[in-house]
Amino acid sequence: MNHKLLSTAAAAFFLCSGAFAQPLTNLETGYARPMTLKECMQYALDKSAKLKIQQTDVDDAKVARRDAILKAFTPAVEAGTYAYSNFGRSVDPETNTYVSTTSFNNGYSVSAGIVLFNGFEAVNNVKISKTSLMMGIEQEQKLRDEICLATMEAFYNVVYYTKLSVIVEGQVSTLKDALELVRRQEELGQKGYADLVQTQADLADMEYNLIVAQNNLASALITLKDIMFWEEDKDLVINMEEVEQARTLTDADPIEESSAVADYAVEHNSSVLIAKGRMDNARLNLRTAKWKFTPYLSLNAGWSTSYYTYPGLAGYAPVPYGQQFRNNGGEYVQLSLSFPIFNRLLTFSNLRKMKNSYKRAEAEYDTVVRQVQAEVERAVQDRNGAAAALNQAERRESFQDEAWRLNVKKFEQGLISPIDFRKASDNLMNAKAERLNALLKWHLKSSVVKYYNGISYIDQY
């Protein structure tokens, strides 16, 4: 009996130590092997509807930048033609006198125009479109990082509840063996009926904990599938081996490291770059609003020709089409200068709005910078705190495991009561669960620090 209890505990410890890749339930999947965390992240990125929408926004920004460049440096060209018949009184194009007969007219024109100066609005729009494109790309990267972080958190929740279920299942098996032992001891008169009932109650409590853990596992798996846009007709199996793989802890001074990571994040983090882009665009819009008080200069040029005839006019000999096409042609070049005088104070109102927009964007940029700096400091502190907690949790688990092994021998020899045995069992289960929680929290906090140091979540694996 002694060997049976110890072998059950050893099996539970082996399972919860990460030496397995399958979840508690035997799920079927269309994939050849369980999916790693990186594969789950990549799947979520490939299926994300939000990311697809953002990618269309980036494409729109590329089109807007192209349009801004063409508008600033190329002329607008138009061509047109017309043809009509007049059945009443009209003016003869050749004599400029009225005629009362049917006439046919046909004309062609080509014109081009370009704004030479409009208060640098076109140039500023090119810069704004470039910044907007950069912001769209950074927004896409930020969304990718958010999806990966959400996938990581959901993945670790599945890992936690999977291994917790294994831990509790091991404890259930141990208590079942203990119940058999108590039942035999009660038959032999070594234990009382109260001890048997207490052991049965302890087993019922542990089986209840197992059901709760399995329900939490099912809920966590649903959350992971939802984030990944997982196909409903397929089951998801994840690989948990890499979670137990050790990573190298930094020996750098926390304060110095926090400052270095914060400096890097302020220069490269997507949230900061997006806020800076908004501030830069607000500054450019303010410059454009100030130049709205200056005159506009534009250049236009064009060419046109026409053809006419009087069908049905007796004795009329029409001029040939080719000759009229050449003789009636004309060109023009126009240089226009317009001065804004009064437009119901719209220019002044727009200037004031742009000033407020720039102040708002500047304040938002400062806020984002401070938030990122605070988040970096908190992330480094949380990572270091999680490392210390993990080390202590591992020591605690080791001691509780040894204490539990000793209590198993005492229980089999009748030296401790079922209550004391249950307490030792709970202490071991809690120690294993807390070590697992500390390990997963350390993984997550370390990934956040690496992210602020310029390594995207998906590239960390």
Q: What are the beta bridge partners of residue 107?
A: 82, 306
Max alpha carbon distance in the chain (Å)?
142
pLDDT at 250: 44
pLDDT at 426: 84
CB 12 within 8 A of CB 404: no
CB 24 within 8 A of CB 214: yes
> CA-to-CA distance for 295 and 341, rounded, in angstroms?
10
Q: Which uninterrupted H or E stretch holds 99?
A: strand 98-100
> CA-to-CA distance for 287 and 354, rounded, in angstroms?
9
pLDDT at 15: 40
In the 3-class helix/strand/coil scheme, how is 29-77 assigned residue by residue? CCCCCCECHHHHHHHHHHHCHHHHHHHHHHHHHHHHHHHHHHHHHCCEE
Q: Model's pTM, two decimal places?
A: 0.80
> CA-to-CA distance for 217 and 195, rounded, in angstroms?
33
Look up tokens 């052991």; give the residue. 199
Q: Supply the DSSP string of 196-211, one letter for each residue.
A: HHHHHHHHHHHHHHHH
CB 425 within 8 A of CB 113: no
Chunked mean pLDDT (size 10), the chain, 461 residues: 40 39 39 82 94 95 94 94 88 81 92 92 93 95 95 95 91 86 80 83 90 94 93 85 60 64 92 96 95 92 93 80 91 92 88 96 96 93 91 91 86 79 85 91 92 91 84
Tell me, what DSSP letter sits at residue 22? S
CB 153 within 8 A of CB 226: no
Q: What are the beta bridge partners of residue 91?
A: 98
CA distances from residue 29 to 21, 227, 451 in whole angstroms, order as listed: 14, 18, 32
Residue 205 has a CB neighbour count (10 Å cut-off) of 14
pLDDT at 254: 56
pLDDT at 404: 82
Residue whose C-alpha is closest to residue 143's, from 222, 35, 223, 53: 53
> CA-to-CA distance for 429 and 417, rounded, in angstroms?
18
Residue 314 has a CB neighbour count (10 Å cut-off) of 6
Residue whose C-alpha is closest to residue 355's, from 433, 282, 271: 282
